[in-house]
Amino acid sequence: MTDNGIGYLEDPTNSNGIIRARTTKQIRSREIPRSQRALEKLNKEMGESKFPGNYVLFEGTKKIYTGEAGDVYRRLKSHLRNPEEKIKGWDKALILNDGRPATQSDFNDPAVRLAIEMHLIKLFKANKYHVVAQGREPSLTATQKRISDTIIQELSYFLLKKNIITRDLQEQGQEEVFRDELKKLLGNRGQNLGAYEATIDGETAYIRPGSLKTKGWQITFRDRFLNSLERGTGYLLVSRDGVPLIPLREVRKAIKDKEAYKQNTIDVYLSFTEDKVTLM
């Protein structure tokens, strides 16, 4: 993504273990350790008044919980006293808002916060975090969507600069679909759903998100996957929006050079829209 003229600033860790960071536009953040002292210090900094926002709890390096609240201080105080089982070992929190009091903040709108939370869930999953939060899609007015879209774009830039994520989400319509979502989409058709394979209608389906290249989404066939391609048995399930399920006998037709099967790998490229998949 481009920075659209946004700058990023981060302060050194202070004596309470708090790290402040911000963009030159809206986003203000505090990263705090799991400490009552740090939380109370933050509350004083905010004038001991209610401040809304989104937050991320980290447990180790790759497990996170996302949340939102009209009063982040009270919500984090609750997480300190009575941590949820699924994130009971959290060790730090990242608070995200625009630094303004509730009466003036864009984060004071619950629907905007929910939209931001859903984006964060998708974004962290795309960056291979174990996300232990579900979230829910809000119904947005045109104004709420404009506000949340603006914040979301800036948040992605912010998290990249802070080195919490390494990549943004793909363009709309081509985001990666993860295991829990795949399970819902496949319903009774899908069995033995793993990270890379599933059984669909009694046949093996190889689950691959692909890697975006100039020619399209690159799918690499190797080992059992390559053997199945050569035989034309099973499916390729592309785990992106629309979730194309392509019989390998159809993919095999795109391999014009039969000598290619003597190689260790074969790369196939595809592009897809809502109603069409093109193999190259």
Task: Kindly report, residue by residue over 164-185, the tens digit of the pLDDT.
Answer: 999 887 655 577 787 888 888 7
In order of 51, 52, 108, 137, the CA distances from 103 in angstroms are 9, 10, 7, 24
> Looking at residue 275, what is its pLDDT?
64
Residues of the chain with pLDDT > 90, as a percent, come to 66
Whether the predicted model's global pTM rises above the 0.75 cut = no
Strands of the 277-279 sheet, one edge to the other? 211-213, 216-222, 265-272, 277-279
Work out the pLDDT band at 34, boundaries 50, 70, 90. very high
- Residue 79, C-beta contacts closer than 8 angstroms, at least 6 positions apart: 57, 87, 90, 93
pLDDT digits (tens, 9 = 90+) for 213-251: 888 889 999 999 999 999 999 999 988 877 888 999 999
Q: Is the pLDDT of residue 2 over 70?
A: no
Ranges 63-67, 166-170, 184-188, 207-211, most confident:
63-67
> Looking at residue 256, what is its pLDDT?
87
How many CB atoms are located within 10 Å of the residue 189 CB? 13
In order of 87, 184, 194, 246, 250, the CA distances from 200 in angstroms are 33, 13, 12, 12, 17
Closest CA to 111 of 78, 146, 84: 146
Outline where DSSP puts E strands in the chain: 8-10, 19-23, 28-33, 53-59, 63-69, 92-97, 130-131, 190-191, 197-200, 203-208, 211-213, 216-222, 235-238, 245-247, 265-272, 277-279
